[in-house]
Chains A and B, each alone.
Chain A
Amino acid sequence: MNKIILSFILLLITVGVFGQAKIEYIEYDLKNGMHVILHEDHSAPVVTTAVMYHVGAKDENPERTGFAHFFEHLLFEGTENIARGEWFTIVTSNGGSNNANTTDDRTYYYEVFPSNSVELGLWMESERLMHPIINQIGVDTQNEVVKEEKRLRVDNSPYGKFLESIKLHMFKKHPYKGTTIGKMAHLDAATLEEFKAFNKKYYVPNNAVLVVAGDIDVPAVKKMVEDYFGPIPRGEDIVRSFPQEEPITEPMREKAYDANIQIPAILAAYRTPSFKDRDAYILSMISTYLSDGKTSKLYKKMVDDKKMALQVGAFDYSQEDYGTYIIYGLPQGETELDDLVIEIDEEIVKIQNELISERDFQKIQNKLENSFVNSNSSIQGVANSLARYYMLYGDISLINNEIDIYRSIKREEIQQVARKYLNPNQRLILEYLPETDQE
């Protein structure tokens, strides 16, 4: 009884608290179909200009993988009004910083400037969309850079290929089976016309969302947005149809090798739904339960008490069309990889057979609340979240309401979801081994 009252009081406190942290925003469409989101925050004289395009590695021709990520490089090469090599000079000479990143689902570009350069950021992003220069010099230069990035991040990096190995086995038809960085041979074989065609198809205002966030004057920025982005012509509508995966019904067991490691790893991967699905939120709670913090179930048992594992973790690698739930462990000392799987399975079976304790449930809620508060701590982070929730989740209000979804989840649902997705016949067991073990 006391416990219930306590939880109720906690709930009241938290509700009050969240009124304070609410993110305000306005949104509208330009005539060419571009979606615009403005977020005003004057706590520091800083502004973020960001554009997210709904194009990622999954949109590529299977014979031309790596295109989406390649564009993240190519579209810094220059535009009709920004000379080649000038992009970064303009940004830094105005005291800004910028970057971009690509996933299987989308490509994201942003600049952060002192707030007196908001127009500059809009000009640059509109130039990138309106008339980028795509030529052979740029393609050749970035081809080498991308190869170095792959060597740095994948080939030379310990455990750098684990995700690639998992995706390869988890997806048979859907383009998630490939990597975001793609195959270098495909990039080598690509023609300039192919790059231009990709740009024409996906880099169109009706496939993009613009976010301007920070120390801004809303009416002035609205006019600038119209001035710079309004004249860009609308593109053809993009039709997406990706092949559906058959459910996994038989256990899979595979091996992968990495020359950069000495200690092997074992990974269990399960197919899960899109991050838009309520079940994805529940799976993320299960991750927190299993491996977030020193007293989480797997960490406490395998790393701390039994000293069987150097590291253990669980995370829902969640994407727009599917998710992959991954649990991994690195053995300590002489522990066999299979013994780690036995220990992991024991905890999953417990979740499936009995409700997790009230206290553990409250612990997860507290942790999620903490990370929710922290997720809105930088303007750039807020801009990214606004774009993501709008474009990929189809619900921008999640920026303030996502925590409510977690709050509404019941312990019974955790049990149901564990039963639905986390079964041995629905998974891949991947032994990730040092290359020297290869026969």
Chain B
Amino acid sequence: MNIRLYTLSAFLYLSLCLNAQIDRTQQPKPGPAPEITLEKPVEFTLENGLKVLIVENHKLPRVSMNLAFDRTPILEGDKAGVSSILGAMLGNGTASITKDDFNEEIDFLGANLSFGFNGGFASCLTKYHERIIELLADATLNSLLTEEEFEKNKDLLLEGLKSQEKSVDAAAANVGSALSFGLSHPYGEIETEKSINNVTFDLVKTYYLNYFQPSQAYLVVLGDIDVASTKALVEKHFGPWQNTVSEKISIPKANANPVQLEINFVDMPNAVQSNISLTSNVELKMSDEDYHAVLIANKILGGGFNSYLNMNLREEHGYTYGARSSVAADKYITRFNAGTSVRNEVTDSAVVQTIKEIKRIQEYPVEEDALANAKAKYVGDFVLALERPSTVARYAINIKTNDLPENFYSEYLKKINAVTVADVQRVANKYFNAKNARFIVVGKGSDIIENLEKTGIPIKYFDKEANPVNKPEFKKPIPEGVTVKIIMDNYIDAIGGKKAVEDVKTVLTNVDVTIQGAPFKPTAVIKTMGPNKESMEMSVQGMGTIMKQVFNGKSGYTEQQGNKQDMPESEILKKQKQKGLFAETYLDPEELVLVSLISVNGVDAYKIQVDKDNGSFRYYNAETGLLIRTESAQEAQGQSITQLTDISDYKDIDGVLMPHTKVINAGPQIITFSASEIKINEGVSKKDFK
């Protein structure tokens, strides 16, 4: 009995354990939402207008101070770079402390202090904060500016520019804002070697005098401090800061968006990835009704890993390490941006997929799940941000500088949660303008431009400083040792070797001709005999011969519907230059020029100039050696038209590779010749050329 009881209880225990076991096939549900408390910083304004915010946080024995200016954006114009130089000079000594002493003291205390044109930052251990706040104030009010430091920082800025010269991303960022906002807009102007060299020491001093105004500044002190003593410190050190009168600034209008989607291309031959971004100007302020809905819509489109853009370009296609979109709210103007970096070969595909995803969010309602997830992410980010004490101060400054209601952040999560499916679609159409937009593409033109052209989006070309340029010729470096002769010989070898080629005396070709847009399909018989005899007879079923063209070596004619015309002298001269059935057997390499290695229909090809006067070129596949294209200029109705003939579909005929397809592009006309049969040294006699 006892034993049985024991077994039973063991059994019960076992089953209890089993019951207690978790079901890992089910995703755990979150517990009750944690309580969120938003602290408020202590705020006060000094008599000079400096607005001060103090946040106490005693978790770690450290203090940070942040001085930030809220100015109207400034256009630096042909002296762009002045604010950067000034920013770099600040924080290196004061009127009463030399540069070396100043920096030595900061370093000795293990503290950090840095400045830029838009403000200053300092951090240190609590035990040194009184001195550091004093140094920050001194550097703000009485910064030491010397000619020597000016020259040095100007040189550094110039060198920095040089070090970025080959950076695809730097060029993309510059050109993107310059083309969107305009080179003469504060958000669009670019610092160039020229503009930096225009900056004078006097101008730097003027900027310091005019733009460092306490009435435009915010100071945040944060950390292991108490409010009362910090307030006294701030008043003591920042109190003497005086406003000087500065002129009122007006902001120029930003560029208009383009009337239709266009690609703005910048060539950088060193690129292994293309930086692409679709961008258009929009107006969006934090205080706008739509602000929260735009945040959510952008999160869904490209605001995170599982957004439309990233899931398509990274996860589905593997084009990129990441794709994102953004619309940062701004008091004046901002832009919508959807961008990524992709390997060269898929640049055009990435362009197409980006447009597709933007259209998707505009044309189709977002799924409820995706909307809920996007909201959850914002809620989570809001909670996670609370870990950083600086969040509280940032919120307080945002409220002041962006004209937001006092309850903006306490209402924030409520507004986020109120966004609907319809809201997302509406704001996507309003703010994600992909019709009047530009694709900024920075990459290696020789690899990507051909395919980009196939997207049908008009392409404009720019240099790295956003100035328009003509379409460049995209070429690649020609490998060492490659010459015209080698390319010619390679061709002969590729099609069967010298002996086989010399044995070809006549060629008979039966072809099907397709003329784009024409309702009938002619066939033709083409006969050639070395060195330069040629005849072609074209016929259409049910109509008989419609055209015949013959050249017998000395003269020739064209016969069309009973109308016979002699070959003009100029044409005869041209034909007489032909010394064999294969140009490569008689052309003199010395007279030809190897122009470049370029991409033709996606393959690398050597471009050789045959005749300078009439602009004729031959293109050889760099890998296979085969001739893949000829180019010549033709006169037609007084105009010069470039005629491109693409040659392909090589097949072995009696030991010689003969192309079976030729596509002739002449202006708007496209004519395709496909050989149904080719015969060598068979079916051709001299009388065919009478």
Closest partner residue, chain B, to A265 (CB atom): B163
Q: Which residues of A contact B321 (CB under 8 A)?
A: 145, 148-149, 151-152
A136 at interface by CB-CB < 8 Å: no
Could you tell me if B34 and A114 are in contact, using CB atoms closer than 8 angstroms?
yes
* Known contacts A92-B377, A148-B320; A114 and B33 CB within 8 A of each other: yes
User: Interface size bucket, B side?
Assistant: 35 or more
Could you tell me if A260 and B167 are in contact, using CB atoms closer than 8 angstroms?
yes
Closest partner residue, chain A, to B380 (CB atom): A95
Residue of B317, B381, B383 with most chain A CB atoms under a 10 A cut-off: B383
Could you tell me if A310 and B160 are in contact, using CB atoms closer than 8 angstroms?
yes
B542 at interface by CB-CB < 8 Å: no
B31 at interface by CB-CB < 8 Å: yes
* Known contacts A13-B127, A151-B272; A366 and B109 CB within 8 A of each other: yes
Q: Which residues of B contact A333 (CB under 8 A)?
A: 155, 159
Could you tell me if A366 and B110 are in contact, using CB atoms closer than 8 angstroms?
yes
The docked-state distance in angstroms from the alpha carbon of A144 to that of B126 is 49
Q: Which of B40-48, B100-108, B177-185, B192-200 contacts A (4 or more CB under 8 A)?
A: B100-108
- Chain A, range 340-390, C-beta contacts under 8 Å to B: 359, 362-363, 365-371, 373-374, 376-379
- Chain B, range 286-307, C-beta contacts under 8 Å to A: 304-306
Could you tell me if B373 and A89 are in contact, using CB atoms closer than 8 angstroms?
yes
A155 at interface by CB-CB < 8 Å: yes
Q: Which residues of A contact B169 (CB under 8 A)?
A: 156
B319 at interface by CB-CB < 8 Å: yes
Could you tell me if A148 and B318 are in contact, using CB atoms closer than 8 angstroms?
yes
* Known contacts A44-B387, A141-B315; A115 and B24 CB within 8 A of each other: no
Q: Which residues of B contact A377 (CB under 8 A)?
A: 60
The docked-state distance in angstroms from the alpha carbon of A43 to that of B319 is 41
B676 at interface by CB-CB < 8 Å: no
Closest partner residue, chain B, to A123 (CB atom): B28
Q: Mark contacts of A190-228 with chain B using CB atoms, 8 A cut-off: 1 yes-contact digit, 0 otherwise.
A: 000000000000000000000000010000000000011
A36 at interface by CB-CB < 8 Å: no
Q: Identify which of B36, B125, B164, B388 contacts A373 (C-beta below 8 A).
A: B125
Could you tell me if A147 and B343 are in contact, using CB atoms closer than 8 angstroms?
yes
Q: Identify which of B61, B123, B380 contacts A97 (C-beta below 8 A).
A: B380
The docked-state distance in angstroms from the alpha carbon of A418 to that of B23 is 58
The docked-state distance in angstroms from the alpha carbon of A120 to that of B28 is 5
* Known contacts A114-B34, A158-B166; A93 and B377 CB within 8 A of each other: yes
Could you tell me if A366 and B60 are in contact, using CB atoms closer than 8 angstroms?
no
Q: Which residues of A contact B380 (CB under 8 A)?
A: 92, 94-97, 113-114
Could you tell me if A152 and B24 are in contact, using CB atoms closer than 8 angstroms?
no
Q: Which residues of B contact A20 (CB under 8 A)?
A: 60-61
The docked-state distance in angstroms from the alpha carbon of A94 to that of B379 is 9
Q: Which residues of A contact B123 (CB under 8 A)?
A: 374
The docked-state distance in angstroms from the alpha carbon of A261 to that of B162 is 9
Q: Identify which of B25, B163, B305 contacts A261 (C-beta below 8 A).
A: B163
Could you tell me if A93 and B109 are in contact, using CB atoms closer than 8 angstroms?
no
Q: Mark contacts of B316-328 with chain A using CB atoms, 8 A cut-off: 1 yes-contact digit, 0 otherwise.
A: 0111110000000
Taking the closest CB of chain B, its distance from the CB of A343, in whole angstroms, is 17
Q: Which residues of B contact A44 (CB under 8 A)?
A: 383-384, 386-387
Q: Mark contacts of A150-167 with chain B using CB atoms, 8 A cut-off: 1 yes-contact digit, 0 otherwise.
A: 011001101000000000
- Chain B, range 143-202, C-beta contacts under 8 Å to A: 152, 155-156, 159-160, 162-169
Taking the closest CB of chain A, its distance from the CB of B248, in whole angstroms, is 37
A185 at interface by CB-CB < 8 Å: no
B612 at interface by CB-CB < 8 Å: no
Could you tell me if B24 and A116 are in contact, using CB atoms closer than 8 angstroms?
no
B32 at interface by CB-CB < 8 Å: yes
Taking the closest CB of chain A, its distance from the CB of B130, in whole angstroms, is 14
- Chain A, range 48-102, C-beta contacts under 8 Å to B: 81-82, 85, 88-90, 92-97
Could you tell me if B305 and A370 are in contact, using CB atoms closer than 8 angstroms?
no
Could you tell me if B373 and A46 are in contact, using CB atoms closer than 8 angstroms?
no
Could you tell me if A260 and B60 are in contact, using CB atoms closer than 8 angstroms?
no
How would you classify the secondary structure of chain A's contact residues: helix, strand, loop or mixed? helix
The docked-state distance in angstroms from the alpha carbon of A17 to that of B27 is 43
Could you tell me if B125 and A263 are in contact, using CB atoms closer than 8 angstroms?
no
Number of A interface residues in the complex (CB < 8 A)? 82
Could you tell me if A43 and B34 are in contact, using CB atoms closer than 8 angstroms?
no
The docked-state distance in angstroms from the alpha carbon of A24 to that of B265 is 56
The docked-state distance in angstroms from the alpha carbon of A376 to that of B21 is 36
A293 at interface by CB-CB < 8 Å: yes
Could you tell me if A294 and B107 are in contact, using CB atoms closer than 8 angstroms?
yes
Closest partner residue, chain A, to B305 (CB atom): A88
Closest partner residue, chain A, to B151 (CB atom): A307
Could you tell me if A259 and B270 are in contact, using CB atoms closer than 8 angstroms?
yes
Could you tell me if A119 and B28 are in contact, using CB atoms closer than 8 angstroms?
yes
The docked-state distance in angstroms from the alpha carbon of A13 to that of B319 is 56
A135 at interface by CB-CB < 8 Å: no
Q: Which residues of A contact B61 (CB under 8 A)?
A: 17, 20-21, 373
Could you tell me if A144 and B103 are in contact, using CB atoms closer than 8 angstroms?
no
Taking the closest CB of chain A, its distance from the CB of B499, in whole angstroms, is 40
* Known contacts A97-B380, A144-B318; A370 and B124 CB within 8 A of each other: yes
Q: Identify which of B270, B383, B388 contacts A95 (C-beta below 8 A).
A: B383
Q: Identify which of B273, B306, B315, B388 contacts A92 (C-beta below 8 A).
A: B306
Could you tell me if A95 and B379 are in contact, using CB atoms closer than 8 angstroms?
yes
- Chain B, range 10-25, C-beta contacts under 8 Å to A: 21-22, 24-25
Q: Mark contacts of A331-343 with chain B using CB atoms, 8 A cut-off: 1 yes-contact digit, 0 otherwise.
A: 0110000000000
The docked-state distance in angstroms from the alpha carbon of A44 to that of B392 is 13
Q: Mark contacts of B31-73 with chain A using CB atoms, 8 A cut-off: 1 yes-contact digit, 0 otherwise.
A: 1111110000000000000000000000111100000000000
The docked-state distance in angstroms from the alpha carbon of A132 to that of B557 is 77
Could you tell me if B163 and A330 are in contact, using CB atoms closer than 8 angstroms?
yes
Could you tell me if A294 and B103 are in contact, using CB atoms closer than 8 angstroms?
yes
The docked-state distance in angstroms from the alpha carbon of A148 to that of B350 is 13
Could you tell me if B107 and A363 are in contact, using CB atoms closer than 8 angstroms?
yes
Could you tell me if A145 and B28 are in contact, using CB atoms closer than 8 angstroms?
no
Q: Mark contacts of B94-116 with chain A using CB atoms, 8 A cut-off: 1 yes-contact digit, 0 otherwise.
A: 00000010011011111110000
Could you tell me if B34 and A215 are in contact, using CB atoms closer than 8 angstroms?
yes
The docked-state distance in angstroms from the alpha carbon of A43 to that of B34 is 12
Could you tell me if A152 and B273 are in contact, using CB atoms closer than 8 angstroms?
yes
Q: Which residues of B contact A394 (CB under 8 A)?
A: none
A429 at interface by CB-CB < 8 Å: no
Could you tell me if A367 and B273 are in contact, using CB atoms closer than 8 angstroms?
no
The docked-state distance in angstroms from the alpha carbon of A143 to that of B156 is 40
B638 at interface by CB-CB < 8 Å: no
Taking the closest CB of chain B, its distance from the CB of A296, in whole angstroms, is 7
Could you tell me if B155 and A307 are in contact, using CB atoms closer than 8 angstroms?
yes
B30 at interface by CB-CB < 8 Å: yes
Closest partner residue, chain B, to A119 (CB atom): B28
Q: Identify which of A93, A155, A307, A378 contacts B376 (C-beta below 8 A).
A: A93
- Chain A, range 7-53, C-beta contacts under 8 Å to B: 13, 17, 20-21, 43-46
Could you tell me if A94 and B163 are in contact, using CB atoms closer than 8 angstroms?
no
Closest partner residue, chain B, to A141 (CB atom): B318
Q: Which residues of A contact B22 (CB under 8 A)?
A: 227-228
B342 at interface by CB-CB < 8 Å: yes
The docked-state distance in angstroms from the alpha carbon of A369 to that of B109 is 10
Q: Which residues of A contact B285 (CB under 8 A)?
A: none
A431 at interface by CB-CB < 8 Å: no
Taking the closest CB of chain B, its distance from the CB of A292, in whole angstroms, is 8
With A81-B26, A155-B273 already in contact, 19 other A-B pairs whose C-beta atoms are closer than 8 Å: A43-B387, A44-B384, A92-B306, A97-B381, A114-B33, A144-B318, A145-B321, A148-B321, A149-B321, A156-B272, A158-B167, A227-B22, A294-B92, A310-B156, A330-B163, A370-B111, A374-B62, A379-B387, A434-B166
Top 9 A-B residue pairs of the complex, sorted by shortest distance between their CB atoms: A95-B380, A144-B318, A45-B34, A366-B110, A93-B373, A370-B110, A116-B31, A44-B387, A293-B107
Interface of A with B (CB < 8 Å)?
Answer: 13, 17, 20-21, 43-46, 81-82, 85, 88-90, 92-97, 112-120, 122-123, 126-127, 130, 140-141, 143-145, 147-149, 151-152, 155-156, 158, 215, 227-228, 259-263, 293-296, 307, 310, 330, 332-333, 359, 362-363, 365-371, 373-374, 376-379, 434-435
Between-chain CB contacts (< 8 Å), 7 pairs: A46-B386, A112-B384, A141-B318, A148-B321, A152-B273, A330-B163, A378-B388
